[in-house]
Amino acid sequence: MTQLRLLGFAGSLRKGSLNRSALRAATELAPQGTTIETYDLDDIPLYNGDLDVDGGPPPVRDFKERITKVDGLLIVTPEYNYSIPGVLKNALDWASRPAYESPLAHKPVAFFGASMSPIGTARAQSQLKHVLLGTLSEVFPYPEVLVGAAHKKFDESGIVTDPTTGQFIGKLLGAYSDWLASRR
């Protein structure tokens, strides 16, 4: 069986974040052979081109090294004003440097998202796809997972309390793992 390592991060810094809960849930739902390491974006500073030398400040260098070491990324994003949160965009901006030769270039990326609204991050995911296009990363296309009414579907410890949500996340991780294994 192919062993796959994923790095997962959520676009929210909130302790009680639904998306951080969803990421914790995903770590338990990955298929056999796939491990999801999680990364908190708390220490990533705001992008500043003046600091973007020698790989950037230490937290940024650490983040980029962690991306380089894994087979693929798993992003779990909230939706802020129909788009992705600044926290996530900022982290992706850092990781996208140097342009076209960054750790994101040709890196497989899957994502999903959770929000309280009925359409569960549809607009944010569409925008995330567009941003990732600019980084030359390779977006896993299907299945898409949009968790609406997310406050009713996870508890704060990352346990999925809604079985259908757990099945959808499990299917995404299974298909993503198969896709990654087929590219080796």
Give me the residues that bind ligand FNR (CB under 6 A), please.
12, 14, 17-19, 78-82, 115-117
Which of 20, 107 has the CB closer to ligand FNR? Answer: 20
Q: How far is the CB of 65 from ligand FNR (least distance, A)?
A: 25
Q: How far is the CB of 75 from ligand FNR (least distance, A)?
A: 12
Which of 18, 128 has the CB closer to ligand FNR? Answer: 18
Q: How far is the CB of 12 from ligand FNR (least distance, A)?
A: 3
Give burial (CB, 10 Å; 0-12/13-18/19+) of 178. Answer: middle
Which of 15, 184 has the CB closer to ligand FNR? Answer: 15
Which of 91, 180 has the CB closer to ligand FNR? Answer: 91
* Pairing verdict, β 72-77 and 34-38: unpaired
Q: How far is the CB of 15 from ligand FNR (least distance, A)?
A: 9
Which of 17, 137 has the CB closer to ligand FNR? Answer: 17
Strand partners, 4: 34
Q: How far is the CB of 88 from ligand FNR (least distance, A)?
A: 10
For the chain, the farthest-separated pair of C-alpha atoms sits apart, in whole angstroms, at: 47
Give the three-class secondary structure for 150: helix
| Long-range contact pairs involving 140-144 (C-beta distance under 8 Å, separation at least 24) | 140/72, 140/108, 140/109, 140/110, 140/111, 140/175, 140/176, 140/179, 142/175, 143/168, 143/171, 143/172, 143/175, 144/112, 144/172
